[in-house]
Amino acid sequence: MRLDVHSLTQRFGNTTVLDGLHLTTGDVQSLVLVGPSGGGKSTLLRILAGLDVPVAGRITFDGTLLPNDETALRAYRKTVGTVFQAYNLFPHLSALDNLLLPLIHVHGLSPAQALARAQEPLERFQLSAHAHKRPAELSGGQKQRIAIVRAMVVQPRCLFLDEPTSALDPEMTAEVLEMISELKLLGTHFVLVTHEMSFAKRVADEVAFIDDGRVLAHGSAAEIFDRCDVPRVKAFFAFL
């Protein structure tokens, strides 16, 4: 996965959230976005995932320019998976039906094909026993793991995860982080926004520190966490 983000700007009303942001990665499997709340991480991730359109700038993903028009973005969104803080599961559907719905109605699989596609990851991540439960019957960790499986069953080129553990207690956080670690071992490409710094250091091929709508530091995990001499970055990590 290669990303080239050039002069990316995003505003909401009179508030500038991304301020001419630049970021060019190497050929990486995992990119982790860190930094203070409100710095622009989630906004960048939503634009990378094709969910928002910036007011200026451009993004090249594996050599292809990310589109701005809605028709092309709908096609792009079918090729990636996105996981949010709040799970976004349909409350009236079982966990299994939450997986089957996009496979059948968005990706055009038959019910039998969709079921076969969904069963393997449910088994791999020890979720089969919860397949017929509705979200209200699941723990927070189980709901988030189902949300991750839902994003994965479409076989995305890249997975975008926006603070997937922010609403979870420590035990449930550990469940979800373990799952993300396993996804990396399976070869999944992903961009992750997280405040779990020890996990970020362990799982990231590259780290981008974002604050005030700009990338203040970018490099390997060791370069950012251990050797970065940018004062704002050093000050942020000093409080962790």
Domain count, the chain: 1
pLDDT of residue 167: 82
Residue 96 located in a structural domain: yes
Q: List pLDDT tens digits, range 154-211.
A: 999 999 999 999 888 888 899 999 999 999 999 999 999 999 999 999 999 999 999 9
- Cα–Cα distances (Å) from 74 to 42, 45, 79, 184, in that order, read 20, 16, 9, 26
Residue 170 located in a structural domain: no
Q: Give me 116's structure tokens.
A: 């076969």
Q: 131 is in which domain, residue-wise?
A: 91-155
Residue 130 located in a structural domain: yes
**Across the strands, what pairs with 56?**
9
Residue 74 located in a structural domain: no
Residue 239 in this model has a pLDDT that exceeds 90: no
Q: List pLDDT tens digits, range 13-33.
A: 999 999 999 999 999 999 999
Residue 225 located in a structural domain: no
* Total length of the chain: 240
User: Largest alpha-carbon pair distance within the chain?
Assistant: 56
Residue 108 in this model has a pLDDT that exceeds 90: yes
Residue 120 located in a structural domain: yes
Residue 144 located in a structural domain: yes
Residue 87 in this model has a pLDDT that exceeds 90: no
Residue 240 in this model has a pLDDT that exceeds 80: no
Q: What does the angle CA 18 – CA 24 – CA 29 come to, to the nearest 5 degrees?
A: 110
Residue 80 in this model has a pLDDT that exceeds 80: yes
Q: List pLDDT tens digits, range 118-161.
A: 999 999 999 999 999 999 999 999 999 999 999 999 999 999 99
Residue 44 located in a structural domain: no
Distance, in Å, from the CA atom of 65 to the CA atom of 209, rounded to the nearest integer, reads 24
Average of per-residue pLDDT values in the chain: 94
Residue 3 in this model has a pLDDT that exceeds 80: yes
Q: How many CB atoms lie within 10 A of CB 10?
A: 22
Q: List pLDDT tens digits, range 213-235.
A: 999 999 999 999 999 999 999 99
Distance, in Å, from the CA atom of 6 to the CA atom of 94, rounded to the nearest integer, reads 42
pLDDT of residue 86: 83
Residue 104 in this model has a pLDDT that exceeds 90: yes
